Structure 1
Amino acid sequence: MRPKPGDRSRGILVAGKYVLQCSLGKGGISAFKREGDGATPLAKMRLLYGFMRGDKGALPATGLRLTRIGKADGWCDAPRNANYNRKVRLPFCQSHEKMWRDDGLYNVCIVMDWNIRPRRRNGGSAIFFHLARPGYLPTEGCIALKRSDMALILPHLSDRTVIRVLRA
Structure 2
Amino acid sequence: MSPHDMILTPTGLRFLGRVWPCTIGRGGLSGTKREGDGATPRGVHHIVGMFYRPDRLPAPAPWAIPIGPRDLWSDDIRDPAYNQLVRAPHGFSHEAMRRADPMYDLVLVTDWNWPEAEPGRGSAIFLHQWRRRCFPTAGCVAFSRADLHAIAPKAVPGTRVVVR
Aligned-partner Cα distance in 2 for 1:47–1:116 = 11
Pair 1:101–1:11, CA change in 2 (3 A): farther
Per the alignment, residue 132 of structure 1 pairs with: 130
Amino acid at match of 2:71: D
Q: CA 1:15–1:45 in structure 2 vs 1: closer, same or farther (change >3 Å)?
A: farther
1:88 is matched with 86
Unaligned runs of 5+ in 1: 1-9
Q: Deviations over 1:132-155 (max 9, x none)?
A: 112231111111111111122222
Of 58, 68, 71, the residue aligned with 1:70 is 68
Q: Take 1:94 and 1:142, find their aligned partners in 2: how far apart are those partners? A: 21
SS at match of 2:153: helix
2: CA distance, partners of 1:76 / 1:44: 23
Distance 1:121-1:147 versus aligned 2 partners, 3 A rule: same
Unmatched tracts of structure 2, length 5 or more:
1-9
RMSD: 1.8
Q: 1:47 matched to which residue of 2? A: 47
User: Would you say how many aligned residue pairs link Structure 1 and Structure 2?
Assistant: 155
Residue in 1 aligned with 2:26?
26
Cα distance in 1 for residues equivalent to 2:116 and 2:58: 34
SS of aligned partner of 2:150:
helix
Contact 2:75–2:94, Cα closer than 8 Å, also in 1: yes
* In 1, Cα distance between equivalents of 2:103 and 2:134: 11
* 1:118-157 alignment runs, 5 A limit: 118-157=116-155
- d(CA) in 2 for partners of 1:164, 1:15: 10
Query: 1:3 maps to which residue?
Result: none
What TM-score does the superposition give when structure 1 sets the normalisation length?
Answer: 0.85
For 1:58, the aligned partner's letter is: P
Whether contact under 8 Å (1:14, 1:163) holds in the other structure is no
The Cα offsets for residues 27-76 of structure 1, whole Å up to 9 and x where unpaired, read as 1111110011010111221101111001113354x36x211111110011
Instruction: Note the C-alpha offset of 1:11.
Output: 5.7
CA distance in 1, matches of 2:90, 2:53: 21
Write the distance in 1 (CA, Å) between the matches of 2:98 and 2:29. Answer: 26
Give 4+ residue runs of structure 1 displaced > 4 Å after superposition.
Answer: none
Alignment partner of 2:147: what SS? Answer: helix
What amino acid maps onto 1:116 in structure 2?
W
Aligned to 1:7: none
